[in-house]
Amino acid sequence: MLAEECMKRIGAGDTGSLWLFSGREEYLKDATLEKLRDVLIEPAMRGLDDQLWEGERSLDEILAALDTPPFLSRRRLIVIRDDPRIIGKGSSADDFKKIEAHLHPGNCLVFLCRTAPDASSAWFKAVKKLDAAVDFRPLKAAEARPWISRMAREAGGSIPSQAAEYLFDYVGGSLTSVKSEMEKLCALCGNRPITRSDIEALCIPSADFRVFTMLDALMSGQKQRAMSLYRQALETDESPAGLLALLSGQLRVARYALEAGRKGMSSEELAAVLDVKPFVAEKAPRIWRNTPVSVLVSLQEACAQADRDFKQGIRSDRDALETVIFRLLER
């Protein structure tokens, strides 16, 4: 189940008795948990009718919590964050059956995972079979736009659709990162809408965005701009080794994207297969769209050789990176 369906169900009053929240979009995960808490728990009863645990708890503790009736709220909410029996091995199907037997209309159990669940976990398999596992996958910019607009309104400002999507990509395709920038953007802009120029003046671009911008300039023939962006990256907080790794990653995505396109694979599917953000899977193929596969392979090999050179002390990390940059400039 995706996050959108889970939110709709909770909003319609279908709060269930069991959920597993996992995935990389932490902001939506927290927002959904908060929405669930609002529906189940009376505001004055927070801390009494809800319980948050970190890590593993004994089976007896979990069953006792499930059997404890709510004090004054409609339901009792138990949240277990990063239980190793969900995100790792060592879980027992029989133990989960005991948990399932203690679920009832007076309680709601949520497993909250900040890392990916282990697909072989007996507990994860059981939750998935009950259609209670929710995947908070990374969003595309268009999907994030309503949430960004809402953040701006809550901070007393406004942001047009195009600027919202630009901000999302600019900070790395994460609503959590957008949230950390929104208050200062709204404070700067006051009553007027946030613009792209405001974002560039005030926010910190993600490493991926910097590399995309530099490569886009390179591949479109804007060599001076590309080198200026390259120097800016080195002068801020990007190491040559880090830039080389990002460049190699972009080439990998582009190479796979060409094959994925032939197979009819969407950018969302490509992002899931390669474990990258959707905006990376969307933008990399566009930047490299006119580059033959043989050239992508050659550039990947150049990145690998540069990586070996600086790790073996043959060249400095900056010199090794610039051998690849000069290869790109030649194109």
Domain 3-135 has CATH 3.30.56.10: no
Average pLDDT over residues 274-297: 74
In the chain, domain spans: 3-135, 141-202, 207-330
CA distance 247 to 86: 34
| Rounded Cα gap, residues 276 and 274, in angstroms | 6
The per-residue pLDDT for 178 is: 92
Upper half-sphere CA count for residue 322 (Cβ side, 13 Å)? 9
Distance of CA 31 to the CA centre of its chain: 14
Q: pLDDT of 27-46, one tens digit each?
A: 999 989 988 888 888 777 77
What CATH class does 207-330 carry? mainly alpha
> Does residue 267 carry a pLDDT above 70?
no
pLDDT in tens, 59-80: 889 898 888 888 777 788 989 9
Residues in the chain: 331
What pLDDT digit, counting tens, does each position of 148-194 carry? 999 999 988 999 999 999 999 898 888 999 998 998 899 888 889 99
Mean pLDDT of 107-133: 86
Gap between the Cα atoms of 14 and 282, Å rounded: 35
CATH fit for domain 141-202, picks 1.10.8.60, 1.10.150.120, 3.10.20.30, 3.40.50.300 = 1.10.8.60
Query: Is 80 exceeded by the pLDDT of residue 290?
Result: no
Look at residue 223 and tell me whether its pLDDT is greater than 80: no
Q: Residue holding tokens 């073996």?
A: 312
144 and 175 Cβ atoms separated by less than 8 Å: yes
CB 247 within 8 A of CB 324: yes
pTM: 0.73
Tokens 């972009």, residue located: 250
- Would you state the pLDDT for residue 79? 92
**Cα–Cα distance between 216 and 312 in angstroms, integer?**
31
Q: What is the pLDDT of residue 263?
A: 64
Pick the more confident residue, 262 or 146: 146
Q: Do domains 141-202 and 207-330 have the same CATH topology?
A: no
**Over 70: is that where the pLDDT of 231 sits?**
yes
Predicted local distance difference test score (pLDDT) of residue 115: 80
- Region 198-211 average pLDDT: 84
Task: Report the percent of the chain where pLDDT is more than 70.
Answer: 93
**Scanning the structure block, which residue is given the tokens 């790395």?**
172
Tell me the C-alpha to C-alpha distance, in Å, between residue 151 and each of 5, 163, 179, 195: 21, 13, 7, 15
